[in-house]
Structure 1
Amino acid sequence: MKKKKVIILSSLIILFALVLEAGILTYANERNAYRTSTVLLDRVIAVLNKNDETRGKLIQSLKEDYIVRAKSVSYILDAKPQVEYDIDELLTIADLMSIDEIHLFDESGCIYSGTMPQYFGYSFDSGEQMAYFKPMLSDKELTMCQDVVPNTAEAKNMMYAITWNEDKTKMVQVGIKPKRLLDEMRQNNVSSLVDDMPVYEGMKIFVAGTTDKTISGATDNSTIGKTLEEIGISTKDIHKNESKITDLFINGESYRCVMRQDENYIAIVAMEHTFYRQGTIYAILIVAIYLILASLCIIYMIFRVMREKFEKEKLFYTSTTDAITKCLNRRAYEEDIARLDPLEEWIYISLDLNGLKHENDTYGHVAGDELICAAAGFMESSFHEYGKIYRIGGDEFVVIVTKHIHQFKEMLKEFDDSVANWHGELVKSMTISYGYVYSTEQEWETVYDIAKAADDRMYQSKEIFYTKNGSGKRKVR
């Protein structure tokens, strides 16, 4: 009874310790997860803002460069007024200045010349993209350059810079496809930046605009283009430049979320609840295992005793078993045959594969091993229940049948049928010569006389086979 109480008390103490540990670890892991999420959130916002700043500087630099090119083209046209309507000359100037398009506007804002005749007649009223330059009509000291926008006619991503010529009689516009800027915008857009963020398994990042709340970047690409509300994230209580932590269901799954909003973006780091609970479970399991180790000491002692017994059995098995076929080997054969009584009823079968050397020489030893293993398998299938199978040489086998002697003919027929119907991967067919002797056929002096008689009958069978087939013959003893 005392022993039972001690076991119950010990179990309760262990249970209490595990519950206490679970509480402490849960609190600690939740704090660590919050700190990890906050650090990641800071990094996301910093990277996005840095990217916006870099892109803004690049755009401003390109605008200044393109305005300079527009003015350069204007100076060239003022110096060579004869090329104003010469498309080929204008194309030469465009190539010289590394620009894609040149358009000449009259004082009313209508294109009357340039490198793109298909645009002649277009004006500042021909579309939203061209309307951007209307202020040029009221201020002839103005120069303008547009951000990357699709042009009105073909929706190509272009940047256009425009200036008045020296005598203010026409406007010169150049169009350039800003390859470097477009490449950087593709590489550094919000989606790519967020997708490249390193996150732990079980964490997700979402970035949306502050105005429309549409997700523009996420580690879960399937949510891009959706609003935060559509996937289950409410931002009504979020305040600018403050972090908020809350539990939400995102796409039907429970997450602990840390959110923050700045001037341009709302960033959310979402963690599955298992993210911070998994470590707690592992720690509890470790402690539980540690507490149980004492009881395992007894099992260990038993294991040592059992292992010694197993090693002895394993040693005996390996010393009496053929490595390739798993049949008994010659050592087991010598030990077993010495114990046989020639006065008792049993059958000795001597077997030998035909043409093994030929197959080895023709297809290699892999083919020979295929034959040997297949033959051993048929012997195992046909005779194992009634006796023992030995491999005593390369292609030499012995079967000693000691049970159900009266069924021997059925065993032999099953064996013959299996061999006759066999087709290997490397070798097409198999034949086996064998000879068998009943121990009751006559009075024998020793079991070795029975073995010799079976061998002689096997070699007679083999001689008949090679005489009949006339190939792959080997010398018969």
Structure 2
Amino acid sequence: MNRTSDMKKRLPGIILITGGIVLVAMVIQAVILSFINNRSFDRTSQVLLDQVSNVIEKNKASEEDLIDSLKEDYMVRAKAVAYIVDAKPEVANDVDELRKIAALISVDEVHLFNTDGVIYAGTNPEYFGYSFDSGEQMAYFKPMLDDKNLTMCQDVTPNTSNGKKMMYAITWNDDGTKMIQVGIEPRRLLNEVKQNEISTVVANMPMYDGLSVVVADGESGEIYGCSYEPVVGLTLDEIGISVTDDMLPDDEDSFTGIRRINGFRNRCVFRRSGEYVIGVIYRMDVNSRSNMAIMVIMALYLCFAAGLVVSMVMKVIHANRERNEQLSILTSMSGMYYSMHMLDLQHDTFALYTAGDLILRAGERAAGAKELMRKIVHKVVVDEHQASAQKFMDLDSLGDRLIKKKIVSGEFMVKDLGWFRLSFISIDVDEDGRPLKVIFTTRNIDEDKKREQKLIRRSYTDELTKCYNRSAYIDDVRELPGDSVYVYVSMDVNGLKPVNDTLGHAAGDELLQGAAECMEQCFGNYGKVYRMGGDEFAAIIFVNTRRLKRVQQEFDDVVRGWSGQLVKSVSISCGYVSSDEKDWESFDEIVKAADERMYENKAAYYRQKGGDRRYR
């Protein structure tokens, strides 16, 4: 009775102490969870900000490449207008006709300058009388007065008349009596490309509940992209964020703070990145709900067994830390890749985080990490890349390749999907720096490869004839093996100038294109054909002496049989030199010998024709 009474007396105290322990534990847990979640947010936000900044920089470089390609295109259009005006001189003073030509060539303005750099005709009479001395924008083209072989294109610049952002390209006509300038307004297209790319970047960022990424204009605050789509097109001020110079001064890298947005408290991190402001926003009530659930569970467990409080707290802290670290890694990586596996090299095991259907089917029922790698290569990689891919995916040699390295990558062609980049990322190493655990990732880079190859082809291709250009010639000669046996062919198209003078430049272009077709048809199967400039061509073909005679005969037959719409025949002077004719001192000596034989052939051609070679 006394013991029961004593227990009853002590019960409130026990309950109070237990409640106090639970309360203190809940407070401690709340503080710990807040600290862990804030750190997790800070790490995640910095990773996301770095990713967005890197992609924006890459897109900016792509935009610069686009502008460069636009310049080349606009200079070609200026030359096209010059050819038309030369062919129909009467349109030079006809505004309506020039506007029709502008529409045909897809430009906004056409201006004709005299040899003193003064506009005397064009699609815009209000500009007549303007000259290269009429302002900074016009003065950019003054070098044209000193070099009639020059063709220029200006960056996007406000024009002299009304400040409208334009790109202008200018060229001399063939006889050097006037300059033709075209103007195009490309800014709207570039802005749309830029904004669309930003929207795509943000939409593809890895997210979790309550977290948003924002990219906005650094001056106006207009939101170009956000993982919460309804705010795209609004300004930061309109959603409750004032990104002022006080908040992000020029000498500060980033801002971290609390802001109330749409009635909710949000933890925010913002950073300037060039002309943009990028930020990560996290709703704190989402974090609070998660924390509250954890604390209630902890309280129930503590009431059931107060003695296990410390152990439970430590387990929860450890579980939360591991969960948040994994969440941070996975959310920052998994959305970026086609597939991602964790490989344990010590125990030959793997864990799948994410995978596209092709990789998933290729690796199903794999018993270990090594078998998984072999199956993926065997079922996914194209036959031509099988050997190199198997060598790259060999886990037995991976340790040596990854010593003191964080990542190794290889690029291979995948069946049905194109080019992929495969990477091993070291995340755990032993005391010697050899990897124990790695992340294996695959990423589709087919579009990047196609864009790269397209740029290379364009930079190495002559616009008119589609032959390789001088840049390609220089690179190929530099890489030509010194012990290879080849034939160097020096070629010159006969009669180009008379054709241009009598039939026009369109006929001259057809003559060059026809000659190039004959060369490609006969020499293209054995090597490459290059346009060196004007009517001069060269070919490097890999044939022996016996085959060369048949190729020469075939070429002569093809040239004799060619006929165009404007030009009825083509004649080409050639000089052939084989690299094994004798012990040549250098490649240049071979070229010189081929040129001499070509000029001998050309001289014989003009002796037979009875013409003057100066008018070829």
Specify which structure has the bigger relative contact order, considering alpha-carbon pairs within 8 angstroms and separated by 6 or more residues.
1
| TM-score of the two chains, using structure 1 as the length reference | 0.49
Bigger radius of gyration among the two: 1
| TM-score of the two chains, using structure 2 as the length reference | 0.39
